[in-house]
Homo-oligomer: A and B are copies of this chain.
Amino acid sequence: MVGKAKLLKIYVGEKERFKNKPLYQYLVQWLKEQGIIGVTVFRGIEGYGEDKVLRSARLLELSSDLPIILEIVDTEEKIDSIVPEVTKMVPKGLVFTVDIEVHK
């Protein structure tokens, strides 16, 4: 897979759950089942979203709800085909795509 492609980024909270599982772990499993080529997950050290509440590793009581970010790379068609389903699974999170050029 070389050439024009898309990077999909999904931002959720570490504590969010879906079908009895942490949401981000559910998403990784679901993306794998859809045949997505590669997924990488990161944990932020702090952040805030729509509710304007700062979750931070500095603030101990909130530290278990740090931001979790998924980076997914695949062809434009593949990414476009999963986005509608992804947005349904992420009621509070942010979902966006970026045009990229894959070299390897």
Q: Give residues in A with beta carbon < 8 Å to B.
A: 5, 7, 11, 25, 28, 32, 37-50, 52, 54, 58, 67-69, 73, 83, 86-87, 90, 93-104
Q: Which 7 A-B pairs have the closest CB atoms?
A: A40-B47, A95-B104, A87-B104, A95-B103, A38-B49, A96-B100, A40-B44
Q: A38-B50, A95-B102 are in contact. List 10 more A-B contacts (CB 8 A).
A: A28-B48, A32-B52, A37-B49, A39-B47, A73-B94, A93-B104, A96-B101, A96-B103, A98-B101, A99-B99
**Beyond A97-B103, A104-B95, is A48–B73 a contact (Cβ under 8 Å)?**
no
How far in angstroms is the closest Cβ of chain B from A20?
16
* Chain B residues within 8 Å of A44, by CB: 40-42
How far in angstroms is the closest Cβ of chain B from A31?
9
How far in angstroms is the closest Cβ of chain B from A16?
14
How far in angstroms is the closest Cβ of chain B from A43?
5
Please name the residue on chain B nearest to A5 by beta carbon.
B96
Is A11 within 8 A of B38, CB to CB?
Answer: yes
